[in-house]
Amino acid sequence: MSVPEYRQFYIDGAWRTSSSDKMSAILCPVTERVIGSLAMGTHADVDDAVAAARRAFATFSLTPVEERRALLGRILALMEERAEALAIAMTTEMGTAISFARSAQVPFGIAHVRAAMEALSDYAFITHQGSTAIVREPIGVCGLITPWNWPLYQITAKVAPAIAAGCTTVLKPSELSPLSALLFAQIMHDAGTPPGVFNLVNGTGEEVGAAMASHPDIDMISITGSVRAGILVAQAAAVTVKRVVQELGGKSPNILLPDADFARVVPLGVASALRNVGQSCSAPTRMIVPVDRLEEVETLARCHAETMIVGDPMAQDSVLGPVANKAQFDRVQYMIGVGIDEGAKLVCGGPGRPEGLSEGYFTRPTIFSDVTTDMRIAQEEIFGPVLCIIPYATEDEAIAIANDTVYGLGGHVQSADLESARRVARRIRSGQVHINHPAWDAHAAFGGYKQSGNGREYGVFGLEECLETKAILGYGPS
């Protein structure tokens, strides 16, 4: 039986066939079988997309704010209308449980469009300092590179603020999860996005990503991906001195202070670490707990992990589907073996697939305890359903453990006393810290310290990454 072929890219307001005959297989992570093939773009395709974006920028950058806000509103409405199709696409391409796709992957993606609209509604593009005007102007053509783990969410987190700012865009989604991106491109078309304002070219990072990063007519490159990919993009971009925004890896801590409600926060901590099968760069995969409560935490964590049903992601009761691809499955299995070899205590899970599953990239929810901060499983991003429990004796030691990483993307603190939680949160070296598992905020600045990246996304922070600042002296009073 033949599988569908996706040979077209979206460039200059129309679908057009790739300049290359090279195709890449799309694999179903549940069955490990080919479910489609995707055209791999070339430098020529990038040139076409960038040229279209450059032409469109001349006029789109001058559009009134209300016109851009109206465009975002149409995109928002179409995403809501086609939410189920988007959810099914993500479950198909990267294995996220359909319940999670419906409750998080799609709604959070929609929320980024809404947040960009809200940020735009009262943003002051011109302010005054005496007779000097400070003008914020769109930076130009934005090259956007997005990952496979939150495929729609990361697209809208980049595209929506760029559109709000008056920029034009060239998007390279992950070739491992392209189906939702193709649906999104159709939404952009059907929303009446002017030709050239949004362009999509599929392909590999080595070919399409590198061509975008080094392209002289791309003014900003924004990437969400691994540290290795972020470094390569920054190196390629340096030649043209363009702005580089990177949201990269993480190994986020979750500090449980002694007065926390452990019966509540331990299960929530496990769920946060393992959601999306642990494939979140900000997942709190290091649970840092008082040494005298270690056994209690192990029991609570194991009990919750054992309630998490792993299975067919289209089944309504499945909490965790497979990891997204073979390379990631192999990496997770390898790192579980590393944890065992390092002498960490295996609380639950372990190597191999869950019982009853003989195919697919399914992984057992795995919890290690008695982990020390020098272990590889405590330092390296595993990107799978693996949680490390690390004991501490004092608050200072807990904070030192939290900061003992090359990353600095997210962090969590749990305490019954808000002031204590605030005190610890201020000492964690990361771009975001969550106190007592609050609701997600689409306007909260998101980005990393250290090797977790540069720049910030979401809301007004994402909007400002797409703007240049111009001072006009002698402008006169407002």
- Please tell me whether residues 339 and 465 are part of one structural domain: no
- Please tell me whether residues 241 and 260 are part of one structural domain: no
Contact 34, 70 (CB under 8 A): no
State both tokens at 435. Answer: 């106190």
* Residue 464 known to be catalytic: no
pLDDT in the model for residue 73: 98
Please give the residue range of the domain that contains residue 79.
5-248+452-472
Confidence of residue 478 (pLDDT cuts 50, 70, 90): confident
pLDDT in the model for residue 443: 98
Return the number of other C-beta atoms located less than 10 Å from residue 302's C-beta.
17
Q: What is the mean pLDDT of residues 206-213?
A: 98
- Please tell me whether residues 174 and 307 are part of one structural domain: no
pLDDT digits (tens, 9 = 90+) for 250-272: 999 999 999 999 999 999 999 99
- Please tell me whether residues 349 and 212 are part of one structural domain: no
Q: Scanning the structure block, which residue is given the tokens 């409405």?
A: 77
Beta pairing partners, 15: 10
- Please tell me whether residues 457 and 385 are part of one structural domain: no
DSSP run (H or E) holding 347? strand 345-348
Quick one: how far is CA 221 from the chain centroid?
15
Cβ neighbourhood burial of 448 (10 Å; 0-12, 13-18, 19+): buried
Predicted TM-score of the model (pTM): 0.97
Q: How far apart are the C-alpha atoms of 25 and 34, rounded to whole Å?
A: 6
- Please tell me whether residues 187 and 322 are part of one structural domain: no
| Residue percentage of the chain with pLDDT more than 70 | 100
Contact 417, 304 (CB under 8 A): no
Return the number of other C-beta atoms located less than 10 Å from residue 231's C-beta.
13
Closest CA to 49 of 90, 79, 14, 81: 14
Beta pairing partners, 16: 9
CATH of the domain at 428: 3.40.309.10
Whether 210 is in a domain gets the answer yes
pLDDT digits (tens, 9 = 90+) for 238-250: 999 999 999 999 9
Q: What is the mean pLDDT of residues 25-32?
A: 97
Confidence of residue 33 (pLDDT cuts 50, 70, 90): very high
Catalytic residue, candidates 142, 167, 281, 348: 281
State both tokens at 379. Answer: 């330092």
- Please tell me whether residues 331 and 429 are part of one structural domain: yes
pLDDT digits (tens, 9 = 90+) for 151-162: 999 999 999 999
pLDDT digits (tens, 9 = 90+) for 280-337: 999 999 999 999 999 999 999 999 999 999 999 999 999 999 999 999 999 999 999 9
Number of structural domains the chain divides into: 2
Contact 136, 126 (CB under 8 A): yes
Confidence of residue 1 (pLDDT cuts 50, 70, 90): low
Contact 339, 386 (CB under 8 A): yes
pLDDT digits (tens, 9 = 90+) for 323-381: 999 999 999 999 999 999 999 999 999 999 999 999 999 999 999 999 999 999 999 99
Catalytic residue, candidates 247, 381, 457, 465: 247
Per-residue HEC secondary structure of 348-411 comes to: ECCCCCCCCCCCCCCCCCEEEECCCCCCHHHHCCCCCCEEEEEEECCHHHHHHHHHCCCCCCCC
* Residue 281 known to be catalytic: yes
Return the number of other C-beta atoms located less than 10 Å from residue 81's C-beta.
11
- Please tell me whether residues 181 and 304 are part of one structural domain: no
Q: How far apart are the C-alpha atoms of 42 and 476, rounded to whole Å?
A: 49
pLDDT digits (tens, 9 = 90+) for 158-184: 999 999 999 999 999 999 999 999 999
Q: N- to C-terminal Cα distance for the chain?
A: 68
Q: How far apart are the C-alpha atoms of 321 and 302, rounded to whole Å?
A: 19
Which residue type sits at 342? Answer: E
pLDDT in the model for residue 20: 87
pLDDT digits (tens, 9 = 90+) for 35-56: 999 999 999 999 999 999 999 9
Q: How far apart are the C-alpha atoms of 410 and 193, rounded to whole Å?
A: 34
CATH of the domain at 208: 3.40.605.10
Is the pLDDT assigned to residue 19 strictly greater than 90? no
Whether 477 is in a domain gets the answer no
The total number of residues written for the chain in this structure: 478
Cβ neighbourhood burial of 343 (10 Å; 0-12, 13-18, 19+): exposed
CA torsion angle 231 451 334 359 (round to 10): -70
Whether 32 is in a domain gets the answer yes
